[in-house]
Structure 1
Amino acid sequence: MSRHLDIDVAIIGGGLVGSSAALALRGMGFSVALLDKGFCGAQASGVNYGGVRRQGRPREQLPLSQRAHAIWPRLKERIGIDGEFLRSGHLKLARSEAEMAALEAYAEAVADQGLDLELVGHNGLRERFPWIDGSILGASLCAGDGHANPRLVSAAFASAARRAGAHVLENTPVTGLTRNGEGFALEAGEGIGLSARVVINSAGAWADRFATDFGEPVPLSRIYPSMIVTEPLAPVMTVNIGMEGGGIYARQVERGNVVVGGERGLPLDDPDFSRPRGAGALAIMNRTAEIFPALRHAQAIRFWSGTEAAMPDRNPVIGFSGTTPGLLHAFGFTGAGFQIAPGVGEVLAELVRDGRTPTPIDAFSITRFSRPPVPPENDDRTSHGSGAGPHPEPQSRGAST
C-alpha cells in the first residue's frame, strides 16, 4: 500500500448523505474518510431536480424530514453558501376529483406532523396562481417547503467536510472491504489502505454490493430521472410545483430558468450512466406547456439524467446492519433524498456516537427485507439492530456541535 489511513469512520459514497454525515462526525470529533468512486455530489445528489419538500412523503419519513427542514435555512453557516435555497412553498396540483380527495386524505393523515398544509380550491387557485392552467381542479400548499440548487449544495457539503478535517478521497473506488477484528479493513483507489472502526455504506445506486457482501442482499433497483432546464424567463412560477399522482414537477430559479422533470432517462450499455430520451423530453415539454401556458414558447437549453437507487417500498435503508457490528447503511432514497439528506447525516453521526438517535428510523431498517441469520456464538458479527442499542467504538473525542 502506498498510503494508509487509520480512522474512526470510513464513509463509502460522497453524495449529500455521506458528505453531511462526514461533516457532522467531524463536529463530534471523529476522524473521518469520505470516499467516492468519482467526484463528491456528481451522481444523484448533484443531478436531481432540487426539490426541498416535506409534502407528499410517507408519514414514517416526516420526523426525519422535519429534522432536515430545520437545517436548510442555516446552510450558509454550516457549509459556507446558501445553495440558492428558497423557501418558496410547494404546491401539489390535483387534476381530478379523485386526486383532490387524495390530497385531502393526506392532509388529514399528517395533520399532527407540523406541515401546516393548506388545501386550495379551484377558485382560490385561479386567484392566487393565475399562471396555472384553469383545468387544474385544486391543490395542497405547504408554505414552508421550497427548492435549492443540488449542484451547489452537494459539492459544498463535501468541501465543508474537507475544511473541517475529513479526508475526502475522490476518484477513489472502494475495491475491498472486510471485517477485521474490532473494525474494518478497506482497499481503495490505487494503493490506498484504510483501517476504520465504523463504516457507513452510503454508496447510492452502488450500495447493494456492499450490503450483499455482509449477508444483507436488498431489492435495490436503479432509476434514471430526466430533467430539462429552459432559457431565463421573466418571473412566472412563484412556488415549487408537484402533481398528485406524478407526471411533472417544476420550479423557477431566481435567474429565471425553469427546471422541469417527470420522465425517466435511458440507461446506457454501462448502467452507471444514462441519457435523456428524446420522446421523454418532448413529453415533459408538452406537459409543461399545457399546465403552464406562459411557458409554451420557452426554449429548452439543457437536458440531463442521473442514476439513483430505488427501493420497492419507496422508503430508504437507514440504520445499523443486521449482521455486522460497526456497519451502517444509508441508501435507496428513490428520488426523494435531497431534502432529508442533511438530517440523515446528523442521524448517522448520532448512531456512531451514541448507538441510537432520537429521530424514529425503525421503518428504514435493512432487516425489513429479510430475516438476518443467527450467527454462531463465536461469530463477531452480532447484530446491533437498526435503531438503538450498544454503540460501536469509537467514543466521541470532542464536543458535539
Structure 2
Amino acid sequence: MSRATPLRTDVAIIGGGIVGASAALALRRLGHGVVLLERDLCGSRSSGVNYGGVRRQGRLPVQLPLAQRAHQIWARLPELLGIDGEYRRTGHFKIARSAVDMAALEAYAELSRDFDLGLQLLSAAQVRERCDWLGGVAVGGSLCPDDGQANPRLVSPAFARAAARAGAQVLEHHPVHEVAHDGERFHLRAGPGLELQAPVLLNCAGAWAGALATRFGEPVPLTSGHPAMAVTEPLPAFLPWSLGVEGGGIYCRQVASGQLVLGGGHGQPLDDQRTRVTAPVLERLLQQAVALLPPVRHAQLIRTWSGTEGYLPDRQPVLGPSVTTPGLFHGFGFAGAGFQIGPAVGEVLAELVHHGHSRTPIDAFAITRFRSPVPAPQPTTSGVPR
C-alpha cells in the first residue's frame, strides 16, 4: 500500500535477525522510535537456523567483552522476551584429539584467564571417568561450565516480538529496494510500497550486508558460508554438555526431548536464498558423529538443513559507525558465531545511537580495518522518495 507521505522514524533497521531485533528492543527501551525491516520472517535466516550453541569458550579475547555482556543478557531472557527459549547453562566441552590440540586448549585457558570463564581442563583419565559416552578419540578437553545452549528458532523471533511489544514497528516481508542519503536523512523504499525516512540506519542484514556497506562507500570482503546441520530421533539422555572439537569439525548437543542436534561441514547453495545439505557431506558428518559418540550408531536422522552466514577474512564482525555516512551503523559478519553475542551487539548498537559511544570495547571490529573507504555517494534528490 503506497503512502501519501513517507513514514518517519528515529532509527531504521535493515535485518530482523537476532542482532537487528535486539537492537530494536534496546533502542525502544532508550525511547527511540524504530522501524525494523525484514525481507522474510524475523529470525528465519542464520539467526534461526544455526546450531544453538551459547558459548564464550573459544572466542578470541577481542570478542570476550561482548560475550561476557551477552552472558548476562541471556540470564535475563524470560524477563526480556517472556520465554526462556530453551536456554540452559549445560556447559560447553571442547574436545582435544591430540597433544597439539590439548596444548592449544591450555594456551587458550591462559589467554582468557582475565575474563573469568571458569574453564576446567580435563586430562585423558578425567575424560574417561566423566564421559563414558565418548568414543576413544579424546585425549583431554576443556569445559566451560556456564556456557550452554538454546533453541534459535524460538529465541531469535522472540527478540523481534519483544521489540514490537515495546513499540517498534516490525515489518516482515519488506525487502529493501532502494536506500539513499540526502545529507540528513536516509530514504528507503521497501516492501509493497513503503517509503521510510530516518536520520539513523542500522545495517544488520547478515550475509547480505556487504551490498549496503558498498552502497555507502565502504566495501568489505564479505563472503557466504553454509553450515550443514541435522537432528536425530529422540535418544535416551546421555550427553550433558554442548560439544565442540578443537581445530574444528563436528559439534553437537542433546536437547530435553532426547534429540541430538549435529553440525559440521558445509551445505550447498541452490541460489542466493536457498541451501541444502548434500549426501556426501551428510555421510561424513555421520561418520564423525559415530566415532565421537558411539550411542548414536543406530540413530535415525529425521531432518537436515542449512542456511547462509556472513564471513569476513579475519572471522571477526564489523561493528560500529560508518566513516563515510553520518547516522549509518554496521553490525554484521559474525562468521557463524553471532547467536551468543547477538543480544550484546544489539545493545552496543543502541548505545552508539543514543550516546555516541559504547561501554563495551569494539575498536577491533571497525569497518576501516579492511581498506581505505572510497568516497560515499554525494547527497542527491534524484530517485529519492518524497
Following superposition, the deviation at residue 372 of structure 1 comes to 2.6
What pairs with 1:266-277 in structure 2 (closer than 5 Å)?
266-268=268-270, 270-277=271-278
Superposed CA deviations along residues 328-366 of structure 1, whole A, max 9, x for unmatched, are: 000000000000000000000000000000100000000
For 2:384, the equivalent position in structure 1 comes to none
For 1:331, the equivalent position in structure 2 comes to 332
For 2:199, the equivalent position in structure 1 comes to 197
For 1:371, the equivalent position in structure 2 comes to 372
For 1:397, the equivalent position in structure 2 comes to none
Letter in 2 for 1:2: S
For 1:227, the equivalent position in structure 2 comes to 229
For 2:116, the equivalent position in structure 1 comes to 114
d(CA) in 1 for partners of 2:201 and 2:60? Answer: 28
For 1:138, the equivalent position in structure 2 comes to 140
Letter in 2 for 1:348: L
Number of equivalences: 378
Structure 2 counterpart SS, 1:120: strand
What pairs with 1:93-172 in structure 2 (closer than 5 Å)?
93-172=95-174
Partners of 2:122 and 2:141 within 8 A in 1: yes
Superposed CA deviations along residues 14-73 of structure 1, whole A, max 9, x for unmatched, are: 000000000000001100001011111000000000000000011100000100010112
For 2:52, the equivalent position in structure 1 comes to 50
Superposed CA deviations along residues 75-107 of structure 1, whole A, max 9, x for unmatched, are: 111011000001000000000000001101111
What pairs with 1:16-35 in structure 2 (closer than 5 Å)?
16-35=18-37
Partners of 2:218 and 2:374 within 8 A in 1: no
Misfit runs of 4+, over 2 Å? 372-376
Structure 1 counterpart SS, 2:109: helix
Structure 1 counterpart SS, 2:113: coil
For 2:73, the equivalent position in structure 1 comes to 71
d(CA) in 1 for partners of 2:74 and 2:186? Answer: 33
Following superposition, the deviation at residue 118 of structure 1 comes to 0.8
For 2:245, the equivalent position in structure 1 comes to 243
d(CA) in 1 for partners of 2:284 and 2:16? Answer: 33
For 2:383, the equivalent position in structure 1 comes to none
Q: Where do 5+ consecutive residues of structure 1 fail to align?
A: 382-401
Letter in 1 for 2:2: S
Distance 1:215 1:128, change over 3 A: same
For 1:299, the equivalent position in structure 2 comes to 300
For 1:386, the equivalent position in structure 2 comes to none
Report the TM-score, using the length of structure 2 for normalisation: 0.96
Following superposition, the deviation at residue 375 of structure 1 comes to 8.1
Partners of 2:219 and 2:373 within 8 A in 1: no
Following superposition, the deviation at residue 5 of structure 1 comes to 1.5
Letter in 2 for 1:257: Q
Residue 181 of structure 2 corresponds to residue 173 of structure 1 = no
Structure 1 counterpart SS, 2:340: coil
Report the TM-score, using the length of structure 1 for normalisation: 0.92
For 2:344, the equivalent position in structure 1 comes to 343
Superposed CA deviations along residues 165-191 of structure 1, whole A, max 9, x for unmatched, are: 111111101111111232211111111
Identity %: 58
What pairs with 1:362-401 in structure 2 (closer than 5 Å)?
362-373=363-374
Letter in 2 for 1:329: H
Structure 1 counterpart SS, 2:64: helix
Distance 1:282 1:155, change over 3 A: same
Query: RMSD value over aligned CA atoms?
Result: 1.4
